[in-house]
Amino acid sequence: MKTCYFCKGKVTEKRIRHVHHWGNDIVVFENVPAEVCQQCGEVYFAPEVLEMMDKATLKKQKPDKTLKVPVFSLP
């Protein structure tokens, strides 16, 4: 992909951290290959990357590490 579908900005390949929401679970993937719009920040994943993330989430694989995440409720 050369240009963003939404803003027509330039899209470049990067490795990113992606927060993946799956039901009530939140999983963080690091070093994820993605295409990212330099103008608006929209992220695009190849189908095989999405499949790898889904498989890791569904199989409940042992993570490389665990993060502690604070949760706040706003009034």
Residue 52: inside a domain:
yes
Are 11 and 33 contacting, i.e. CB atoms less than 8 angstroms apart? Answer: no
Q: The domain containing residue 48 runs over which residues?
A: 11-58
Query: Tens digit of pLDDT for each residue in 9-58?
Result: 999 999 999 999 888 888 999 999 999 999 999 999 999 999 999 999 88
Residue 64: inside a domain:
no
Domain tally, the chain = 1
Residue 28: inside a domain:
yes
pLDDT at 1 (0 to 100)? 79
Residue 39: inside a domain:
yes
Residue 4: inside a domain:
no
Residue 51: inside a domain:
yes
What is the pTM (predicted TM-score) of this model?
0.86
Retrieve residue 43's tokens: 């992220």
Query: Tens digit of pLDDT for each residue in 41-55?
Result: 999 999 999 999 999
pLDDT at 53 (0 to 100)? 93
In 3-state terms, the chain is what percent helix, strand and coil (to 5)? 15, 40, 45
Give which of 27, 33, 63 is closest to 46, Cα–Cα. Answer: 33
Give which of 32, 30, 31, 20 is closest to 58, Cα–Cα. Answer: 20
